Structure 1
């Protein structure tokens, strides 16, 4: 992952990696665990990914690019949000890396986000990702 402080959230999910993969790549599930966002992508490396919705009364469309897709194992994409107030340029994008590890029928899900400018920003991101991976866990475990 590129530079900056990394925010990492980890959870163990009582479901196999394939089920967890289904949750993190299904637009209906993403809408549920990612703050009501509408996901659009074809999951092909090099192609765009977008999330759009409303946050605190403001409409937004975040964007990124698919970097790596290994079903049941790893998903890597970039992410930029205009809500950050930063200019849309490469150095203001984060890389999000979702790693799924099989553990005797369960899955360890790790979500890491790079390019946080400070420890405080990384801690803020970590808190958000901790909630998100907990929601992924709940969805995956309910079947």
Structure 2
């Protein structure tokens, strides 16, 4: 059987460097990720976690790969919902590349591809959860980088 996965692609009018900075800067992440703070130094082998505004840990993991501003891979596990924590670890790959052609933007955009894969079939509930979350988070990220404001508050 194949592992449960979710893939999302979006195009953002920005540079790879600005997108990388937005994905790894705690103050910026807080703006587009509904108040969540990211904690990591974003180096391979380093711990990674997402923390709610009230201090509860949302998710934990480890940076598996970091190639700024092109690729970030995180080993990821939910910590705050027992049924999702029981689903085990997943792997989130964020790939950033210059968009060769983006109508109306003169080619000045980046393609962000998020691939979130469960480590095992039992991870299906977690992949279902991120399938609903990533579109909102990435819509906020795109809006923030392009307009300075978020779509969903």
Bucket of the pairwise TM-score, normalised by the shorter protein:
0.7 to 0.9
SS at match of 2:45: coil
Q: Which runs of 5+ in 1 are unaligned?
A: none
Number of residue-to-residue matches in the alignment: 137
Structure holding more strand per residue: 1
Match of 2:42 in 1: 43
Q: Which has the higher contact order (CA 8 A, sep 6+)?
A: 1
Q: Which runs of 4+ in 1 moved over 3 A?
A: 86-89, 120-124
Task: With the length of structure 2 as denominator, give the TM-score of the two structures.
Answer: 0.77
Task: With the length of structure 1 as denominator, give the TM-score of the two structures.
Answer: 0.82
Greater gyration radius: 2
Q: Which runs of 5+ in 2 are unaligned?
A: 100-106, 149-153
Separation in structure 2 between the aligned mates of residue 27 and residue 69 of structure 1, nearest angstrom: 16
Deviations 1:49-72 (A, max 9, x none): 1111158xx933421000111112
Match of 2:27 in 1: 28
1:127 paired to 2:132 = yes
The answer to whether the 8 A contact 1:98-1:112 is kept is: yes
Separation in structure 2 between the aligned mates of residue 11 and residue 60 of structure 1, nearest angstrom: 28
Separation in structure 2 between the aligned mates of residue 127 and residue 54 of structure 1, nearest angstrom: 21
Q: CA deviation at 1:122?
A: 3.5
Match of 1:73 in 2: 70
Separation in structure 2 between the aligned mates of residue 14 and residue 82 of structure 1, nearest angstrom: 33
1:59 aligned residue (35, 56, 60): 56
